[in-house]
A and B are shown apart, each in its own frame.
Chain A
Amino acid sequence: MTARNVSFTLNGKPATLAVEPRQTLADAVRQHLGLTGTHLGCEHGVCGACTVLLDGDAIRGCLMLAVQAEGLSITTIEGASPPEGLSVIQDAMQRHHALQCGFCSPGMVLALESLFAHTPCPGEDDIREAISGNLCRCTGYQPIVAAALSVAEKNRANLGAAAPSA
């Protein structure tokens, strides 16, 4: 199949890839760029392991074709992680033992990044809703929810009492 060029912003930098039109965004970042933090658990849009951010919003990397990314801004887990160490959400997940095998974790982190970008102080229902499209087979979600609640708590304290809570 003939390849087509697609240009988009990936993790803050311009990227141009020659991809088959049928190739998914998740396959493209994994195979062409070696960004293997985007995982494939089902390839039919249910498990959420392939979650990436499209202009800040969590989307399924397996349901979008790479060619559809033309001109858009994509962030993968590699781009969402600080150069060293852990982001606030990642750190909270470690502290709450919110992962075991780690296969769902990049998707979970990005789903929560997307949530916190819109709602700095989400409540438990918001959190459960935000990760309801991300399957985890190990933890039972409880510690993931606890981790996110701890971030919300911290945000609430930082924003002051006047901040609206969800």
Chain B
Amino acid sequence: MIGQRVLRVEDKRFLRGEGRYVADIALPFMREAYVLRSPQPHARIVSFDASAALALEGVDAVYTAADLPASLTPIPCRIPTHGDMTPFLQYPLARDVVRFVGEPIAVIVASSRALAEDAAELVAIEFEPLPVVADAKAALDPATPKMYPPGNIATQWGFDLGKVDDAFAQADIVVEKSFSIQRHSAMPLETRGLIASYDKARSYLEVWGPTKVPHTNRAMLARMLGMRDGDIRFAEPDVGGSFGARGEFYPEDIFIPYFAIKLGKPIRWIEDRQEHFASINHSRECTFQVKASATKDGRITAFDVVLVADLGAYIRTHGDVVPSHAAASFPGPYAIRNYRVAATAALSNKTPSGTLRAPGMFEANFAREQIVDMLAEKLGMDRAEIRRRNLIKPDEMPWYVGTQSVNRPTLFDSGDFPGLFEESVSRFGWSTPLPKGEGPVRRGRGIVALVEPSGFGPFESARIEIDPAGFATIFTGASNQGQGHETMLPQVAAEVLGIAHDRFRVRHGDTAMIPYGGGSYASRTAVMGANAVHRAALAVKAKALAAAAQMLQAKEDELALDDGKVIVAANPSRFVTLAHIARVLTPGNAELVPAPKDFIKDDHDGLTGEVFLRAIPSGTAVFSVHMADIALDTGTGELKVERYCVSGDVGRAINPMIVEGQLVGGVVQGIGGALLEELAYDEDGNLQTGSFADYLLPSSHEVPRIEALVVEKAKSISNDLGVKGCGEIGISGVAAVLANAIAHALGTGARPTKLPLTTERLLDLVEPGS
């Protein structure tokens, strides 16, 4: 079962249009909410008048910050940060100042969404504009007016490892370059949404809506509203993609449930796409100034980095995690001991920033891998060769980079980086000549090496129950946004229990069914979710064998599991089915546990197994190589990706089909981030991106054929299954490899240092100043 390309069981409902996403849920007497958002990047709210809106028939309420509990705190940051972030936290609804276009000011509740929008038109708000901090550069300028009393810088930190200055003084060559990564976001095809319903008499609040971390968000909601965890149910419906953007505790996550309580009727809020551009966490915007040194034989001796990230107007639940990861992991897969980084998280009047698939890594790889190419160019060395000479060797594992991010050491537990590197290079045919360019077309080839962490997050849970008919249910603490957990987790359990994977059902994302859950992020479900299921299955197996030994009058070590039965290995005609064992182990069943005569006693607890698994903080490291051939039309700036190969050593692929899907899909998202996607602001802090006509995503036309090479060379040494997470390696190296291929095609030393790589920018590289 593990290792097989099993077709996904969840596909049937999705293909038939029977998936149930949050907007597909409706409750009796439900009302619809529209969130009135700031059109101003930075302004004081002078007056607010909703009387005309409230006069409209069908409008129930127009709620503002004044309707929230006076004791309500801002949304706390839930991840360790560099320094105190409390001055920069966001209240769920703006109090008297708005700090970005899209900041929630009021919530209009009405009988329909259309009516709520009509009502919004009638709300009169007077603003007094305040000076705008347009970007990180402005934030760092002492002359810029302060957005917050402490200023426009959230935090600064750094590392200084080894002897960086000595390394530069002794180096044979030094290169230096600045790189910038544009603001973009995950852009799942389904926008955000929530439904909240409160049973006042029973004190029971139910909230449906996509989030990566239902249990964490329930706890935050309970703490902020002074409610009990047990009085709140968070339930995840089907979810139309996440890619990093559904992890926050968003402002809506508190005020929609709270107003449902206040109104006494269920409220549904479904974001529209225009809202989404302004309200989903933005990501990626940062600059790197990088200096690197090497010896003449291609040994990289030091990196010196200045990193400035623009986190937008507020610090939210994810704090400074994105630049934190970038700063901690910048050296990548190379054995470099002299590393210095000075990092700044700046604030500006833009949408707050959070995570996007491969947070900090997509960005750092873009800068580092170009610098490595620059070193190779200066040395006249092959670009694969310089990487080969610097990769961390298997006998150097575990490798501690010497940095930490969010209190976790940057540690690679295991890996055969050179092994995968050579296999990738040879599979791609790195040394085969590129086809010649025709006319204005020039061809180039790029290579990057990278390492992604996976399996972060403190714990995961799993419970398996086998019912008296022999069907099995897996309750997982992992949440699902389309990755395929309903297929992959049963494969793991099936391997142990000898039951076909399609006799399992997977329940996830519902705090009413699952007492504790970690959720899905950081490529963690294969690592934590699957290992928890594996151990829960082992617990079920042990219980089944113990019971069968009594039922068959055999020794446990004579028994084996086979196709839903426990058999006597030497005589398979002697068996009991798991269904039968489940019946016997049902509480109240008199077999094996006869009723006591004189005192109550412990009973059966079902053919079940439950596991809570603690993670190691540094996770498990995944090595990956990206290679691409491109054709650049130097006349038009048109870029064609002609060939793309991504490889990843995932230790063990539970379902290779799903792993390949993650790699290929990740690459295409990366192509979007590298070439197309941008959340653009004008110099006055106004978001210019309002539709998919402005925010371009890769379509079926833009994408090349992608080869995914899934390798199981270096098993993780930190979990039973030996697995590593595959969700982020696909996206992580795309901008870097395309930039390297473009620079190679140009052959002039010019380099694409600013993302996205638009045709204008590429033309400018061909002919500077054109």
**Partner-B contacts on A (CB < 8 A):** 1, 20, 22-23, 30, 35-44, 46-47, 49, 76-78, 81, 85-86, 90, 93-95, 97, 99-106, 109, 127-129, 131-145
Contacts and interface: CB of A to CB of B under 8 A. Distances in A.
28 contacts: A1-B114, A20-B114, A23-B114, A30-B23, A37-B19, A39-B189, A41-B190, A43-B272, A44-B692, A47-B189, A81-B15, A90-B16, A99-B11, A101-B14, A102-B14, A102-B238, A102-B482, A105-B14, A106-B14, A128-B701, A137-B188, A140-B664, A140-B665, A141-B698, A142-B706, A143-B661, A143-B664, A145-B700
A100 B241 contact: yes
B532 to A, nearest CB: 22
B189 A41 contact: yes
A19 B601 CA distance: 63
Contacts of A109: 15
A23 B113 CA distance: 11
Contacts of A81: 15-17
B329 to A, nearest CB: 25
Nearest to A138: B665
A76 B706 CA distance: 32
Given A100-B661, A138-B482, A143-B661, A42 B701 contact: no
Interface in B727-762: none
Main secondary structure of the interface of B (DSSP, over half): loop
Contacts of B273: 41-44, 47
B191 A97 contact: no
B746 to A, nearest CB: 27
Given A40-B23, A41-B191, A77 B16 contact: yes
Interface in B435-493: 481-484
B97 interface: no
Instruction: Please name the 8 residue pairs, one residue from A and one from B, whose CB atoms are nearest each other, closest first.
Output: A37-B17, A102-B14, A101-B482, A103-B240, A140-B668, A77-B17, A46-B692, A36-B24
B17 A42 contact: no
Interface residues of B, number: 54
Given A36-B21, A41-B191, A47-B692, 17 more contacts: A30-B23, A36-B17, A44-B692, A86-B15, A90-B16, A97-B661, A99-B14, A101-B189, A102-B13, A103-B241, A105-B15, A129-B700, A137-B669, A139-B668, A140-B665, A140-B667, A142-B705
Interface string B6-20: 011011111111111
B697 A137 contact: yes
B697 A135 contact: yes
Interface string B625-660: 000000000000000000000000000000001101
A39 B661 contact: no
B121 to A, nearest CB: 14
B693 interface: yes
A103 B241 CA distance: 8
Contacts of B19: 37, 102-103, 105
Contact of A101 (B16, B188, B668): B188
A136 B188 CA distance: 9
Contacts of B241: 100-101, 103, 137-138
B668 A141 contact: yes
Interface of B: 7-8, 10-21, 23-24, 114, 187-191, 238-241, 243, 272-273, 481-484, 657-658, 660-661, 664-669, 691-693, 697-701, 703, 705-706
Most buried by A among B14, B188, B482, B701: B14
A139 B190 contact: no
A88 to B, nearest CB: 11
Contacts of B7: 94-95, 97
A108 B241 CA distance: 16
A47 B190 CA distance: 10
B212 to A, nearest CB: 13
Given A86-B12, A97-B657, A135 B692 contact: yes
Contacts of A139: 661, 664-665, 668
Contacts of B699: 132-133, 135, 141
A26 to B, nearest CB: 11
B692 A101 contact: no
Nearest to B118: A1
A85 B272 CA distance: 32
B515 to A, nearest CB: 26
B14 A39 contact: no
Contacts of B666: 140
Contacts of B660: 97
Contacts of A44: 273, 691-693
Pick the most buried of B189, B697, B699: most chain A CB atoms within 10 A of its CB: B189
Nearest to B273: A42
A20 B118 CA distance: 14
B664 A101 contact: no
Contacts of B20: 36
Contacts of A49: 189
Most B CB atoms within 10 A — which of A78, A100, A133, A145?
A: A100
